[in-house]
Structure 1
Amino acid sequence: MKLYLDPGHGGSDPGAQGNGLVEKAVVLDIALRIRRILTENYKDVVVKMSRTDDSTKSLQQRTNEANSWGATYYFSIHCNAFNGSAHGYEDYIHSSLSDASQTAGYRNSIHTEISRIYQLNNRGKKKGNFHVLRETSMAAMLTENGFIDNEQDAALMQEPSWRERVALGHVNGLAKAFNLQSKTEPNTIFRVIAGSFKLRGNAEDRSIALKSQGIKSFIDRITISGEQWYRVQAGAFTSRENAENRLSEVLNAGVEDAFIVTD
């Protein structure tokens, strides 16, 4: 699979703004997380990004680049804005496409997976005549990840743990839509790590905080590069999907440095 990943706006085009946030920065962070999760965990995936920093790039440049590269899929990442009262998640395919089209089928899988782990109101699956959906020669989808001028949505956007969860939803959707194969071997164990600490007392504090949120954990002592660390483990699973569900619970509990390890 060749994914053209397009964080909207950038450089001289800030996109939507509100509550101290700028769209171009939020969507770049989400897109970089999507690339990392996708390439670390799935086989035969190549990701080309329209931008990896705060640079200016026209819509025509983006679609020309994706078309010339021969991308399998065009994924455009955005945040919304309206009048401060609208809130939630929605996504788009081109208005000329039927609900029975292949592009709509891809979108159905992705929408389901994103919605499953979101904390946002689901505003539904929509269609539009956006340039990146109209001028691409491959299947394309645009996601609007909350309203930056809405106080509640913006509060979520400010959290790295929320942006990680958003990225994970996008990746899970792509994996389902394109039947991506995991890099992990059979019988792999997926462990959810809710923090690693040099001091055992800090690890114990984290474990207590998780327990107060109804999440069981234990402390495991490991050695990394000759140094001793205390790692808080919040579950071990044979299914990546189950591990990701637990990771989402841990992130929702306010643990921003949680991650999954395999062995």
Structure 2
Amino acid sequence: MFKLFLDPGHGGKDSGATGNGLMEKNITLKICQLIRDRLQNEYEGIDILMSRTGDSYPTLPSRTEKANAWGADFYLSVHVNSGGATGFESFIYPGVGQPTTSYQNTIHQEIVKATGFYDRGKKQGDFHVLRESRMPALLTENGFIDNIEDAAKLKDPNFIEKIAKGHAQGIVKIANLKPITPKDSAG
């Protein structure tokens, strides 16, 4: 059983980045709910725990402590960027090595393929959730909320579905998940 810890960035009193009528906390929660639903409904051999399932604000330490206590195999933190640029980028903790680097390569590639986002590259960053989690961890930045073109995509439910699909497809590959086989409905 592959144990995935899904962390929708921000939440509650922390809206995250805002722009063009959007709040990061709402987008990250929707993306993570779609990732969870797709993986749970279509694949076997996966167990998923989320840092939040509604508009609450778990602290950064509480997020990583929950993942560590649960014994997650992979920590995925989903975010939306700001700063006026465009595109997608992903982060791992500096110098972490395998298997995290190959997980980043796989998931990054699947998200860019699914979304057509401009590829800003695979990066390293000293973020709490990457530093304090005791399992391979990845933080994704899905578009720029304060860029009018990216924001238009982030307002489109079909595009949000593409972002979720890219994340899910990457997880399917790194965890070697098998599709659920339909039960025999005869009888």
Partner of 1:111: 108
Query: TM-score with structure 2 length normalisation?
Result: 0.95
Q: CA RMSD in A?
A: 0.9
1:141 aligns with 2:116: no
Instruction: Find out whether 1:131 has 2:128 as its counterpart.
Output: yes
Structure 1 segments (4+ residues) deviating >6 Å: none
Larger radius of gyration between Structure 1 and Structure 2: 1
**Structure 2 unaligned regions, length at least 5:** 183-187
Alignment of 1:66-85 (within 5 A): 66-82=67-83, 84=84
TM-score, reference length from structure 1: 0.68
Residue aligned with 1:15, SS: coil
Instruction: Return the offset for 1:95.
Output: 1.1
1:162 equivalent to 2:159? Answer: yes
1:177 paired with 2:174, answer: yes
Residue identity matched to 1:62:
R
Please name the residue that 1:13 is paired with. 14
Following the alignment from structure 2 to structure 1, what is the Cα–Cα distance between the partners of residues 123 and 155?
Answer: 26
CA distance, structure 2, for counterparts of residue 56 and residue 174 of structure 1: 25
Code of the residue aligned with 1:164 in structure 2: it is E
Structure number with greater CO (CA < 8 Å, separation at least 6) is 2
Alignment of 1:35-54 (within 5 A): 35-54=36-55
Q: What residue in structure 2 maps to residue 92 of structure 1?
A: 91
How far 1:107 sits from its partner (Å)? 1.1
Q: CA deviation at 1:28?
A: 0.4
Q: Distance in 2 between matches of 1:24 and 1:15?
A: 6
SS state at 1:126 partner: strand
Q: How many corresponding residue pairs?
A: 181
Q: For residue 13 of structure 2, give the secondary structure of its aligned residue in structure 1.
A: coil
Q: Give CA-to-partner distance per residue, 1:45-102, whole Å, 9 cap, x none.
A: 11100001000110000000000000010000000001x2x1100000001324xx21
Shift of 1:119: 2.7
Alpha-carbon distance in structure 2 between the residues aligned to 1:124 and 1:22? 24
Report % sequence identity.
49
Name the SS for the 2:33 alignment partner. Answer: helix
The Cα of 1:139 is off from its aligned counterpart by 0.4
Tell me, in whole angstroms, the C-alpha distance in 2 between the residues paired with 1:184 and 1:104: 31
Partner of 2:35: 34
How far apart, CA to CA, are the structure 1 residues paired with 2:163 and 2:92?
19
